[in-house]
Structure 1
Amino acid sequence: MSAAAPCARSKRALRSVVAAQFFSSLADNALLIVAIDLLMQRHAPGWMTPALRLFFYLSYVLLAAFAGAVADAAPKGRVLMATNLIKLGGCALLLWQVQPLVAYALVGLGAAAYSPAKYGILPELIPQEELVAANGWIEAGTVLSILFGVALGSTLVGKGLALPAIGAVYLLAAACTLAIPHSPARDRAALAHPGRLLRDFGGSLVLLWRDADARISLAVTSLFWAASATLQFLVLRWAAERLGLTLSQGALLQIAVAIGMAAGAVGASRWFPLGRALRALPIGIALGAVILLMTLVTQPAVAAALLVVIGTLAGLLLVPMNALLQSRGLLYMHPGQSIAVQNFNESLASLAMLGVYGALLYFDAPLLPTLAGFGGFLVLAMGAALLWSRRQRPQERFGYSPAPNRLSTRSQSESPKIRQ
């Protein structure tokens, strides 16, 4: 057999995974917009809107220790199919007029199990030298799915066929997984000892928080995603109250953030390589300051431009922080466990911030003070992270040391690695 045959198979496999990810994420983003509209149609209390994401992230927190094991206990292609069908079930519950919070929690359950399988299947299908490019395709497909998903959801708002159309997209994502080459389960007994999984996860959590660089990047990425989850709903409220836009128009306005994030991610790869990752921290302060400017904007065109700037700053900050966290995680555990710890921290932070925002809505807090407080909090929190990083590594002045710190001198038998 020629050397070209395995290469062709790996390319077909990658196309299938990227397509499944694109359609699954597209449906997720469209469904959120439609679910918000359903709550508005039912005149639900304002706090229920951010609670949609709160219930979604709750699944990530509860499944954090087990999601990786689920991906290892069965062929990952089948896991990807099953999790898309679980998401389809959440969509069906909305169609059957079940409480949207319950339905969206089921979607979150599928998403929590989907994430480690999505990233874990790539090394099984793609040669090692092509993994970086493969991850790039996954991320590019995700960004595009956000853009088109928000647009699709905005288009479908108020239409009777909205939920069946989104359900069809989930089915399409599941169908794409049928083209993924079969690979055996990595460890069929991965779920046999849940107590050990919890201990391993707890040990991994402690290891990353005790590492100087990982601690900073975990704190920043957790704060970032918590702020991002809350800002998504703040922008919709801001668009309605300050810009006079409908839900559909306000949702489309969020595309500006995604465009900015894509541009920021490209810039980050050039200006903030791993060795200079911590030098991106001041951008977080600028991000909070620009959010404060939202309180002054009343024109949609200016709002769109400002959201592009916010997205760009977000991309410039997030990409180097993610790279730093992943590099430190590889010192102590396999990538799936590192991603699970990161998801846990980010989802827990998102739960907390969405809970605070939901409480503010419950007590009818005005928009502008809420928005100003949100931006001010980010400025202070990112400023604290910047000072923290200086104290952690005063000699390096925002540099990065690739050498393992004292924790990495532990033997592998002491490190809480999950079975390979």
Structure 2
Amino acid sequence: MSREGERSMGTGTMHDGANDSLTRPPLFRDGSFWGLTATQFLGAFNDNVFKQQLLLLFVAVPTATGSMDLQGVATIAFSIPFVLFSGFAGYLSDRYSKRRVIVLSKVAEIVVMAAGVLGFIAFGFAGLPAWLILYLMIVLFAMGGQSAFFGPGKYGILPELFRKRDLPPANSLILMTTFMAVIFGSALAGLLMDVLDDRLWIGGLLTVAIAAVGTWTSLAIRKTPVAAPELRFSADCVAIPSDVRQAMRDDRQLTRALIATSLFWTGAALVQLIVNTVGKNQLGLEDRHTSLMVTGISIGIAIGGALGAPLLGHGVNLRASMMAGWAVVVTLVAISFPGSELTHWLGFRGMFVALTVLGAFTSIFSIPLQVLMQARPPEALKGRVIATQNLLNWVGICGAGLIYQAADSVLAKYELPPSWNFLAVAAILSVMLLVFFPKFERQSGPVITGSLDPLVAEKLRRSRNRRKPKETGDPPTA
């Protein structure tokens, strides 16, 4: 890569001009795109095989007085590392090569999957005693930690690898393949639960092998210049860095997108837990069929990801995103109503179709917000902004675990079917769409190109230099 190309990548003024086209290959002829896509696919597959197996185990944990649903606790265990480490992970992704962070994270995945195999071996001999539940929660915590360090580098490297015009299709295709991995991983988890029974360690060996292959594919990602080589570690790196807080104050659109995405992931995490409970406890399905309902969501997300590029174009189509968000709310309300005798009026097949539709709208909703958060920050802040996004998303997901445990207890006390929990998700998403969703920009209608990077960067520079008085007439960046 030429020095001029490197300078443009480091100053936050990257654009789709001649230099950008010359220094970066077309998306589908870029080996780094396929290496990153394969790495993400394999990692998502492993995460969902392991996590869905544990969630199914925890739907009804035997107790002295009956059984207890520990899915919410497991979700909290998996989420806490993102809350604790996302800020530091963002610092690492800006201070060092994002490729290096990605590769080392994949090596850590091999170790975590091996620890999971040991837990499944113990399950085959001892069942699910309290000490093993604690051990598996610790493994979930470690898996969340590995993913927390992988996330900022994975998403932050996209603008460094690809032309800006390629970001929407790159996000769409990576999202589509990611949720193909979720489909296969979730489906395989239920099948392994029914077929292997107390020999789940056999499937665990497969996840170790896949983690090793994912480490190999990560090596295909080309090296990129370090975004902020002089960045020093400080206390605020473990939370939201001061520069990112300043960017959020200066760029209201960015702030709204971060909050909206966090609330959306709160709802998304709740939906998976509710579907598992509806499948096993309300519809009386086997593990494989319950997991197939979860894969219905993922199939819809893959379809939405495939449709995202032609439907959304090369900008950030906020109108399409909001319409898709309201479609998600309507679908959730429709599937919340139970049938007679604590069943469900849609049954297994109807729920599968409804959840597939839900997933498609989810994908179309999330792609524009993801592109907005990649395009707007200055280049040197992208990794930390993505880390902040991860932090806020996982605060929401951790909160989803608490909400689920509380709501499940209330419904169980009054002997109400778990499908009513979908109404709580619809309420959360309605608040997000009405209060926190980014505003439409007047000058560009429904499409925002993310061309405000230099403006936000200039505001950040002005904020650090207090010698000149701040102009009170400047409107906030919307």
Q: Give the TM interval when normalised to the shorter protein.
A: 0.7 to 0.9
Number of the residue aligned with 1:326: 374
2:434 matches 1:378 = no
Number of the residue aligned with 1:293: 334
- Computing the radius of gyration over CA atoms, which structure comes out larger, 1 or 2? 2
Number of the residue aligned with 1:110: 146
- Does the 8 Å contact 2:270/2:401 carry over to 1? yes
Offset of residue 16 of structure 1: 4.2
Code of the residue aligned with 1:85 in structure 2: it is: I
- Does the 8 Å contact 2:112/2:139 carry over to 1? no
Q: 1:410 to 1:169 in 2, by over 3 A?
A: same
Deviates more, 1:38-47 or 1:106-115: 38-47
Cα offsets for 1:217-274 (capped at 9, x unmatched)? 2222111111111100111112234433123211111111112112223333333342
Aligned-partner SS, 2:374: helix
- Does the 8 Å contact 1:150/1:255 carry over to 2? yes
Aligned-partner SS, 1:245: coil
Number of the residue aligned with 1:350: 397
Query: What does 1:113-124 correspond to in 2, within 5 Å?
Result: 113-119=149-155
Match of 1:32 among 47, 51, 61: 51
Cα offsets for 1:333-363 (capped at 9, x unmatched)? 4321221111111111122232111122234
**Counterpart-to-counterpart distance in 2, 1:205 and 1:86:** 35
Code of the residue aligned with 2:368 in structure 1: it is: P
2:123 matches 1:81 = no
Cα offsets for 1:68-118 (capped at 9, x unmatched)? 344455734641332312432541453345322222111101111122333
Match of 2:383 among 336, 344, 363: 336
Query: What does 1:214-363 correspond to in 2, within 5 Å?
Result: 214-273=254-313, 274=315, 276-296=317-337, 297-328=345-376, 330-331=377-378, 333-363=380-410
- Does the 8 Å contact 1:287/1:310 carry over to 2? yes
Code of the residue aligned with 2:81 in structure 1: it is: S
Aligned-partner SS, 1:254: helix
Number of the residue aligned with 2:458: 409
Aligned-partner SS, 2:62: coil
- Does the 8 Å contact 1:259/1:308 carry over to 2? yes
Code of the residue aligned with 1:361 in structure 2: it is: D
Aligned-partner SS, 2:285: coil
Number of the residue aligned with 1:3: none
**Counterpart-to-counterpart distance in 2, 1:18 and 1:290:** 30
- Does the 8 Å contact 1:56/1:105 carry over to 2? yes
Deviates more, 1:70-79 or 1:332-341: 70-79
List gaps (5 residues or longer) in structure 2. Answer: 1-24, 124-131, 338-344, 466-478
Deviates more, 1:137-146 or 1:243-252: 137-146
What TM-score, normalized to structure 2?
Answer: 0.73
List gaps (5 residues or longer) in structure 1. Answer: 1-5
How many residues of Structure 1 are paired with residues of Structure 2 in the alignment? Answer: 405
2:414 matches 1:389 = no
Number of the residue aligned with 1:157: 193
Deviates more, 1:147-156 or 1:88-97: 88-97
**Counterpart-to-counterpart distance in 1, 2:239 and 2:75:** 28
Query: Percent identity between the aligned chains?
Result: 18
What TM-score, normalized to structure 1?
Answer: 0.82
2:65 matches 1:43 = no
Deviates more, 1:190-199 or 1:370-379: 190-199
Offset of residue 215 of structure 1: 2.4
**Counterpart-to-counterpart distance in 1, 2:158 and 2:330:** 39
Code of the residue aligned with 1:349 in structure 2: it is: G
Offset of residue 195 of structure 1: 2.7
- Does the 8 Å contact 2:42/2:210 carry over to 1? yes
Code of the residue aligned with 1:315 in structure 2: it is: S
